[in-house]
């Protein structure tokens, strides 16, 4: 049975992880630029789903769809795909492939088909699966998040308990390449419950990793309240990065409370100040256009954006009501003229990146219709 993996740039790390998990069970995921016999697998976000829906619906082979969008709205995806993997794929995807190969109907836990669904009966232990094999990926060191930010799919897919890959396993993967980057919702929460830092464990991890380590910067980030002298000292001592990436999301404490972010704007300001002190460039994320954001809230966010941009870089994104989150089904509020103007000016100066335009302008009308 030939099994293909539809190449989608945004899903390249999922490919590395699932390639390795399937390989162990005797299946090779063949990278493909379109659906092909016998089975083609897709991993979709809620943005890329718009592009691939028709391709999947018209595919002349069996199709398996997973990823955050499929996990958030499996019924919608099951209307055009043969099988939907709901949740984590490392155990479920090879199990589903084996079932298809053996002539089964894919009626296994964690898979939705047109007339069947049973939730997964497993939770992935990171050490039980390779981070990657021949296709290099980022090393996922932690999964799950104890927070419940209203716009975020992560805890809804992976749960609120943090699971960590062991230091031995991470060090083994870090040894294979000159540079390693990590996947985690909060790099500085390594070894902890995600709320109470365990910097002793972070240090044990960093000490064991050979070569160049990038920690708390792309593709991972940190939470602002985890930034302190002790944590920045560890990054400066053991890591190669000169930048630290963290989420502020809003300059209004009211909005942060409504989002259940679990930190304040004072934590963000303190984080930026400390980055300056420790010679790290802060890269700070903001979201504009929350449905309950007042003009005053948006101006407070703009003020914070302008202030952060004096010392570092800002990523600004327009709010997207992702399925499966508490804010699903709401609408982004319009941006103030001054927000568009300030973002544009800072972008021209090289202090700001992101996509603060309307979703329709950004994705639906763009020729490539894909996310970077």
Q: Does 149 bind ligand SF4 (CB under 6 A)?
A: yes
- Residue 210 half-sphere exposure toward CB, CA atoms < 13 A: 10
Query: Is 188 or 352 the residue whose CB approaches ligand SF4 more closely?
Result: 188
Q: Does 185 bind ligand SF4 (CB under 6 A)?
A: yes
Q: Site for ligand SF4 (CB under 6 A): which residue of 27, 91, 138, 147? A: 147
Per-residue tokens: 268: 């963000």
Q: How far is the CB of 191 from ligand SF4 (least distance, A)?
A: 17
**Smallest gap from residue 186 Cβ to ligand SF4 (A):** 6
Which CB sits closer to ligand SF4, 106 or 155? 155
Task: In whole angstroms, give the CA distance from residue 44 to residue 57.
Answer: 14
Q: Please give the DSSP secondary-structure letter assigned to residue 314.
A: E
Return the beta strands (E) in 38-94 as ranges: 39-43, 62-66, 83-85
Question: What number of chain residues touch ligand SF4 (CB under 6 A)?
Answer: 9
Name the segment binding ligand SF4 (CB under 6 A); options: 24-32, 62-70, 100-108, 149-157: 149-157
Residue 197 interacting with ligand SF4 (CB under 6 A): no
Per-residue binding string, ligand SF4, 218-247, x by CB under 6 A, is -----x------------------------
Q: Which is nearer to ligand SF4, 270 or 299 (CB)?
A: 270
Tell me whether residue 145 or residue 255 sits nearer to ligand SF4 (CB atom). Answer: 145
Smallest separation (angstroms) from ligand SF4 to the CB of 148: 6
As measured in angstroms, the least distance from the Cβ of 185 to ligand SF4 is 4
CA distance 95 to 187: 31
Which of 30, 122, 133, 154 contacts ligand SF4 by CB under 6 A? 154
Q: Nearer to ligand SF4 by C-beta: 68 or 94? A: 68
| Nearer residue to ligand SF4 within complex by CB, 234 or 259 | 259
User: Which residue intervals of 126-228 are DSSP H helices?
Assistant: 154-158, 167-175, 199-208
Using CA atoms, how far residue 294 sits from 148, 177, 302, 309, 332, in Å, is: 22, 48, 12, 23, 12
For 24-42, the three-class secondary structure string (H helix, E strand, C coil) is: HCCCCEEEECCCCCCEEEE
Q: Which residues, 6 or more positions from 250, have their beta carbon under 8 angstroms from its beta carbon?
A: 256, 259, 261, 265, 286, 287, 290, 293, 297, 300, 301, 304
What is the helix, strand, coil percentage profile of the chain, to 5?
Answer: 40, 20, 45
Instruction: Note whether 100 and 106 are within 8 A (CB).
Output: yes
Question: Of 89, 106, 155, 197, which one interacts with ligand SF4 (CB under 6 A)?
Answer: 155
CB 103 → ligand SF4: shortest distance, Å? 40
Of 82 and 267, CB closest to ligand SF4: 267
């Amino acid at each position: 049975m030939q099994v293909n993996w539809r190449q989608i740039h945004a899903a390249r790390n999922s490919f590395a992880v699932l390639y390795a998990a399937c390989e162990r069970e005797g299946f090779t995921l063949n990278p493909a630029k379109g659906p092909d016999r016998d089975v083609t697998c897709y991993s979709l976000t809620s943005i890329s789903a718009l592009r691939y829906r028709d391709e999947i619906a018209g595919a002349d082979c069996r199709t398996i769809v997973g990823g955050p969008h499929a996990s958030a709205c499996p019924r919608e995806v099951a209307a055009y795909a043969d099988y939907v993997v709901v949740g984590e794929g490392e155990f479920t995807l090879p199990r589903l492939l084996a079932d298809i190969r053996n002539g089964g109907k894919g009626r296994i836990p964690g898979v939705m088909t047109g007339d069947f669904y049973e939730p997964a009966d497993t939770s992935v232990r990171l050490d039980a699966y390779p981070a990657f094999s021949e296709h290099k990926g980022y090393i996922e060191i932690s999964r799950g998040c104890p927070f419940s930010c209203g716009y975020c799919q992560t805890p809804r897919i992976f749960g609120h308990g943090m699971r960590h890959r062991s230091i031995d396993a991470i060090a083994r993967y870090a040894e294979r390449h000159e540079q390693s980057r990590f996947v985690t919702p909060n790099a500085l929460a390594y070894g902890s419950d995600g709320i109470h830092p365990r910097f002793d464990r972070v240090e044990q991890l960093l000490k064991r990793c050979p070569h160049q380590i990038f920690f708390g910067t792309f593709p991972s980030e940190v939470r602002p309240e985890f930034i302190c002298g002790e944590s920045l000292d560890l990054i400066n001592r053991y890591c190669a990065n000169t930048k630290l990436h963290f989420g502020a999301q809003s300059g209004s404490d009211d909005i942060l409370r409504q989002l259940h972010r679990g930190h304040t704007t004072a934590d963000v300001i303190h984080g930026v100040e400390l980055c300056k002190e420790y010679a790290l460039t802060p890269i700070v994320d903001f979201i504009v256009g929350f449905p309950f954001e007042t003009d005053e809230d948006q101006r407070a966010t703009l003020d914070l954006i302008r202030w952060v941009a004096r010392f570092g870089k800002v990523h600004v994104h327009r709010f997207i009501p992702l399925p499966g989150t508490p804010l699903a089904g709401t609408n982004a509020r319009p941006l103030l003229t001054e927000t568009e103007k300030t973002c544009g000016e800072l972008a021209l100066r090289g202090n700001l990146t992101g996509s603060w335009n309307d979703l329709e302008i950004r994705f639906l009308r763009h020729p490539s219709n894909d996310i970077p």
